[in-house]
């Protein structure tokens, strides 16, 4: 996997830290999801990695885009995505931004509250709207839980209200939680959605779309179901609960489209101990939480690491891995038993694997004067 990245790093020796994204791997991820879920339209959740070459590639392959802000909408348009293939999927939008998106021609909007519906009715009359259902995020390493969505009783009322306000009550959405490790979550989520379809149909509102969000995985240290395991569970759930009344299906993958396609190259800046008795070495890298690795918060996402010494028969021992900045929260892994080779030395390059998703966009702006994480798309 990603031998092109290894070659690029060896040939170009770019300054570290940097992220290298293999566009062929992104294309392969898009194609394999299309094969696995042929009934679904893919809306790439561009917050995962909005690098222009990634967006251009996916736009060229026919992807649609899930945009979280008018700025992402602009980026998708400038990458060549037609406006009909954009969804304004954030449930929290300024009314002024809804109006601007509408003026550009965006026709699909998410909401999960009455106040948001009021804004949509005011400045985007007639637009397709879909209501997001709340999920508890269980089983997910990065849960997105409870902040978004509403309970089904409220969603029922809001969809009737959407119709009465002159909007097009188009469908329902949910997100089972990012890096979802329990494929059993799909049955419950799809089942609740289908039940609401039925109840609303009885009230005269015929929904046409179900948006199953993201949740598909990248490859980290902790075992997780792969894309096909997820797709199998999704299809089983859709067939079970919708049967021959299958609506349009939208899927919004972020992590699984770009995660495994990227590698961060970093450098060991310092190796030290705090006392002569200290059992663990501290290994400080030139990238940390503020350089784009914020998903290590609470050690939620455990990246796989590669060092130049992995093939040697030297011993390994426990380490605490930290970033370079002057903030005590800038520690990546302290409790989850990372071990690195005893021969690891200051100046060694370390590769942080599967870092194509949720890294560059989470990088801080010049904390301690450090430049933003550079991306090379190859
Ligand atoms: C972040 C997000 C996604 C992408 O989720 P992944 O788990 O990264 O695939 C999809 N839809 C919405 C609404 C999101 O907020």
> 3-class DSSP state for residue 161?
helix
Which DSSP symbol is given to 311?
Answer: T
Contacts of 78 (CB under 8 A, 6+ apart): 52
Tell whether ligand 1 has an atom less than 6 A from the beta carbon of residue 178.
Answer: yes
Query: What spacing in Å lies between the alpha carbon of 67 and ligand 1's midpoint?
Result: 10
- The percentage of the chain sitting over the pLDDT mark of 70, rounded to a whole number, equals 100
Average the pLDDT over 74-82 and give the result.
98
Instruction: Establish whether the linkage from the previous residue to 47 is cis, with ω within 30° of 0.
Output: no
pLDDT band at 314 (very low <50, low <70, confident <90, very high): confident
Tell whether ligand 1 has an atom less than 6 A from the beta carbon of residue 45.
Answer: yes
Query: What spacing in Å lies between the alpha carbon of 56 and ligand 1's midpoint?
Result: 19
Mind listing the domains of the chain with CATH numbers? 23-258 (3.20.20.10), 260-377 (2.40.37.10)
Is position 326 annotated as part of the catalytic site?
yes
pLDDT score for 1: 59
The two three-digit tokens of residue 328, written as one number: 């005590």
223 pLDDT more than 90 = yes
> Which H or E element spans position 66?
strand 64-67
Whose structure tokens read 């602009």? 74
127 pLDDT more than 80 = yes
53 pLDDT more than 90 = yes
Average the pLDDT over 180-188 and give the result.
96
pLDDT score for 146: 78
| Nearest Cα residue to atom 12 of ligand 1 | 213
24 pLDDT more than 70 = yes
Query: What spacing in Å lies between the alpha carbon of 277 and ligand 1's midpoint?
Result: 45
Ligand 1 pocket test target in 67, 109, 254 with most atoms within 8 Å of CB: 254
> 3-class DSSP state for residue 295?
helix
Q: What is the pLDDT of residues 147-173, one digit of tens each?
A: 899 999 999 999 999 999 999 999 999
* Pairwise CA distance, residues 212 & 237, whole Å: 11
Query: What spacing in Å lies between the alpha carbon of 145 and ligand 1's midpoint?
Result: 12
Say if CB 207 and CB 159 are below 8 A apart: yes
Tell whether ligand 1 has an atom less than 6 A from the beta carbon of residue 41.
Answer: no
pLDDT band at 122 (very low <50, low <70, confident <90, very high): very high
Q: Give, in degrees to the nearest 5, the angle at Cα 158 between 152 and 162.
A: 145
3-state secondary structure 94-140: CHHHHHHHHHHCCCEEEECCHHHHHHHHHHCCCCEEEEEECCCCCCE
Tell whether ligand 1 has an atom less than 6 A from the beta carbon of residue 47.
Answer: yes
Nearest alpha carbon to residue 307 among 262, 261, 338: 338
Average the pLDDT over 76-91 and give the result.
98
What number of other Cβ atoms are within 10 A of residue 312's Cβ? 11
Query: Mean pLDDT score of the chain, rounded to an integer?
Result: 96
Tell whether ligand 1 has an atom less than 6 A from the beta carbon of residue 291.
Answer: no
Average the pLDDT over 247-266 and give the result.
98
Greatest alpha-carbon span in the chain: 74
* Pairwise CA distance, residues 366 & 333, whole Å: 23
Closest ligand 1 atom to the C-alpha of 179? Answer: 7
pLDDT band at 30 (very low <50, low <70, confident <90, very high): very high
What is the pTM (predicted TM-score) of this model?
Answer: 0.97
Catalytic, out of 326, 336, 363, 377? 326
89 pLDDT more than 90 = yes
275 pLDDT more than 90 = yes
Say if CB 42 and CB 66 are below 8 A apart: no
| Nearest Cα residue to atom 5 of ligand 1 | 214
């Amino acid at each position: 996997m990603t031998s092109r990245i290894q070659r690029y790093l060896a040939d170009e020796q770019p300054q570290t830290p940097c992220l290298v994204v293999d566009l062929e791997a992104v294309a392969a991820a898009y194609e394999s999801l299309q094969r696995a879920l042929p009934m679904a339209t893919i809306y790439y959740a561009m917050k995962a990695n909005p690098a222009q070459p990634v967006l251009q590639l996916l736009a060229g392959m026919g992807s649609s885009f899930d945009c979280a802000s008018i700025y992402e909408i602009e980026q998708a348009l400038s990458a060549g995505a037609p406006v009909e293939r954009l969804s304004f999927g954030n449930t929290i939008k300024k009314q002024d931004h809804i109006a601007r998106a509408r003026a550009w021609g965006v026709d699909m909007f998410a909401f999960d509250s009455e106040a948001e519906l009021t804004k949509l009715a005011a400045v985007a009359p007639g637009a397709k709207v879909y209501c997001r259902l709340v999920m508890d995020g269980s089983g997910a390493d990065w849960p997105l839980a409870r902040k978004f969505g509403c309970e089904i009783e409220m969603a029922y009322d809001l969809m009737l209200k959407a119709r009465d306000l002159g909007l097009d009550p188009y469908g329902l959405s949910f997100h089972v939680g990012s890096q979802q490790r329990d494929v059993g979550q799909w049955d419950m989520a799809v089942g609740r959605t289908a039940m609401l379809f039925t109840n609303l149909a009885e009230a005269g509102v015929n929904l046409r779309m179900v948006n199953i969000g993201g949740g598909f995985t990248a490859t980290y240290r902790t075992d997780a179901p792969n894309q096909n395991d997820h797709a199998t569970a999704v299809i089983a759930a859709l067939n079970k609960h919708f049967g021959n009344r299958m609506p349009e299906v939208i899927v919004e993958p972020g992590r699984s489209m770009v995660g495994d396609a990227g590698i961060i190259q970093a450098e060991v800046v310092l190796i030290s101990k705090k006392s002569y008795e200290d059992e663990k070495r501290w290994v400080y890298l030139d990238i940390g939480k503020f350089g784009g690795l914020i998903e290590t918060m609470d050690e939620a996402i455990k990246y796989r690491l590669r060092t130049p010494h992995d093939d040697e028969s030297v011993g390994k021992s426990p380490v605490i891995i930290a970033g370079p900045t002057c903030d005590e929260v800038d520690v990546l892994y302290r409790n989850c038993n990372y071990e690195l080779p005893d021969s690891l030395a200051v100046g060694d390059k370390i590769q942080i694997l599967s870092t194509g998703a949720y890294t560059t966009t989470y990088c801080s702006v010049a904390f301690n004067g450090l430049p933003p994480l550079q991306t090379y798309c190859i």
